[in-house]
């Protein structure tokens, strides 16, 4: 079972959501991306 699941990821049938990092000084850009709802993944702020 697990082998078939790993093959789905290997063959790009499933993929992980993208993660976007912003420096804390660029928090306004992160906010704009959240408001636009076009990011498509998680946003992270780096201190």
Does residue 46 contact residue 22 with C-beta atoms inside 8 Å?
A: yes
Residue reference for tokens 């804390």: 24
Domain membership flag for residue 2: no
Domain membership flag for residue 41: yes
pLDDT at 15: 67
d(CA 9, CA 17): 12
Cβ atoms < 10 Å from Cβ of 17? 9
Domain membership flag for residue 32: yes
Select from 40, 41, 43 the least CA-distant residue to 31. 43
Q: What is the pLDDT of residues 2-35, one digit of tens each?
A: 888 888 878 878 766 778 999 999 999 999 999 9
45 pLDDT more than 80: yes
Whether the model pTM is above 0.85: no
Domain membership flag for residue 3: no
Domain count, the chain: 1
Domain membership flag for residue 5: no
């Amino acid at each position: 079972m697990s082998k078939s699941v790993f093959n789905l990821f290997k063959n790009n049938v499933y993929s992980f959501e993208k993660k976007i990092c912003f420096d804390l000084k660029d928090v306004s850009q992160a906010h704009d991306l959240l408001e636009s709802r076009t990011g498509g993944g998680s946003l992270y702020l780096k201190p």
